[in-house]
């Protein structure tokens, strides 16, 4: 499998399931047999993930990516052996970082929920091709990651303004919006990826979608109250 297919979610899921370390091996940079050069995607993803790990209090050395030829069996063996020793020295995930199990689980779950949003926000950098190793450390900054986690908008459809036009529902990339003809639309916050599509496509004359930050999202209106009652025009 191409290393470029290893998703950020895969890595965070591995840590959430108790893995003490994650190693990714890929072809040498610039030597892709195809035209995808997915190993650059893998490198960028790892650089981002390591910064996320720092943000939530995990040692970034628990995640490693190395590039080598498929014919370099001895090198592969040495690299994996060195990584295994490093992880053994670090100790169990969370304990070495003085994070209790509940706190670690909560932080990893928060990060995993934001993966779709993060991939949208950082798509340009994740698609970049770093030719020089000295550029690696500066691709993602600590301040950038803090802003990523601290400035996430949630989206809410105001039931008083929704006209059930179904535009946002049709355009939502993850089908997080329920509703229908003459049914006030509601966003499922557990499915929403914070992409902002609903906010962008809601007709300005309605302005039904609100961006929310720093406060809880209002609870959805009960199912029995979602029928839209339209006012008749005066004759």
pLDDT in tens, 78-127: 999 999 999 999 999 999 899 999 999 999 998 998 898 899 889 999 99
Q: How far is CA 92 from the centre of its chain?
A: 25
Q: Are residues 104 and 176 in the same domain?
A: no
Q: pTM of the full predicted structure?
A: 0.79
Give the C-alpha distances (Å, rounded to integers) separating 214 from 54, 55, 115, 150, 217: 23, 19, 19, 9, 9
Percentage of residues of the chain with pLDDT beyond 70: 98
Q: Are residues 65 and 164 in the same domain?
A: no
What span, in angstroms and rounded, lies between the C-alpha atoms of 68 and 79?
Answer: 10
Give the per-residue pLDDT at 69: 86
**Among the three residues 128, 150, 172, which one is the final residue of a domain in this structure?**
150
CA distances from 105 to 13, 64, 87, 119 (A): 11, 21, 19, 21
* pLDDT tens digits for range 111-167: 998 898 899 889 999 998 887 777 787 899 999 999 888 878 899 999 999 999 999
- 189 in any annotated domain: yes
Residues 103 and 120 in one domain: yes
Q: What is the pLDDT of residue 34?
A: 78
Same domain? 35 vs 140? yes
Clarify whether residues 102 and 182 are in a common domain. no
Find the helix packing angle between 8-16 and 38-56, rounded to 10°.
Answer: 40
Residue-wise pLDDT for 62-76, tens only, equals: 999 999 987 888 999
CATH of the domain at 173: 3.30.70.20
CA distances in angstroms from 98 to 93, 95, 101, 134, listed in the order given: 9, 5, 10, 31
* CA 98/CA 202 separation, integer angstroms: 46
User: Which residue do the tokens 């997080």 mark?
Assistant: 176
* pLDDT at residue 183 tops 60: yes
61 and 166, same structural domain? Answer: no
Span 181-185, mean pLDDT?
94
**Residues 17-41: what's their mean pLDDT?**
89
**Phi-psi domain of 196 (left: phi exceeds 0; alpha: psi -120 through 50; beta: other):** left
Q: Is the pLDDT of residue 48 over 90?
A: yes
Q: Is the same domain home to 25 and 112? A: yes
Same domain, 133 and 165: no
* Model pLDDT, residue 137: 79
> Is 155 within 8 Å of 211 (Cβ atoms)?
yes
**Domain co-membership, 51 together with 165:** no
When computed from its CA atoms, the radius of gyration of the chain, rounded to whole angstroms, is: 22
Residue range of the domain that includes 79: 3-150
Flag whether pLDDT at 47 surpasses 60: yes
What mean pLDDT do residues 9-14 have? Answer: 96
The 3 state secondary structure assigned to the chain is CCHHHCCHHHHHHHHHCCCCCEEEEECCCCCCCCCCCHHHHHHHHHHHHHHHHHHHCCCHHHEEEEECCCCCHHHHHHHHHHHHHHHHHHCCCCCCCCCCHHHHHHHHHHHHHCHHHHHHHCHHHHCCCCCCHHHCCCCCCHHHHHHHHHCCCEEEECCCCCCCCCHHHHHCCCCCEEEECCEEEEECCCCCCCCCHHHHHCCCCCCCEEEECCCCCCCCCCHHHCECCCCCCCC
* pLDDT per residue as tens digits for the range 191-233: 999 889 999 999 999 999 999 987 889 999 999 999 987 766 5
Q: Domain boundary residue among 112, 132, 150?
A: 150
């Amino acid at each position: 499998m191409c290393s470029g297919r290893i998703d950020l979610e895969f890595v965070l899921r591995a840590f959430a399931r108790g893995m003490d370390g994650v190693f990714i091996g890929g072809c040498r940079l610039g030597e892709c047999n195809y035209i995808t050069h997915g190993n650059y995607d893998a490198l960028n993803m790892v650089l981002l993930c390591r910064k996320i790990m720092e943000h939530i209090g995990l040692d970034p050395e628990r995640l490693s990516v190395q590039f080598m030829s498929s014919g370099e069996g001895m090198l592969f063996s040495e690299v994996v052996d060195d990584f295994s020793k490093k992880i053994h020295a670090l100790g169990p995930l969370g304990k070495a970082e003085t994070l209790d199990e509940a706190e670690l689980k909560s932080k990893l779950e928060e990060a995993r929920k934001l993966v779709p949003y993060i991939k949208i926000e950082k798509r340009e950098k994740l698609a970049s091709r770093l030719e020089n190793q000295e550029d690696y450390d500066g691709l993602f900054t600590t301040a950038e990651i803090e802003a990523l986690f601290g400035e996430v908008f949630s989206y809410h459809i105001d039931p008083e303004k929704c006209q059930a036009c179904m535009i946002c529902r049709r355009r939502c990339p993850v089908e997080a919006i329920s509703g229908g003809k003459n049914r006030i639309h509601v966003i499922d916050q557990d499915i929403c990826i914070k992409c902002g599509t609903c906010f962008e496509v809601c007709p300005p004359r309605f302005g039904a979608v609100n961006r929310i930050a720093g406060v809880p999202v209002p609870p959805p209106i009960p199912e029995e109250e979602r029928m839209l009652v339209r006012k008749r025009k005066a004759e």
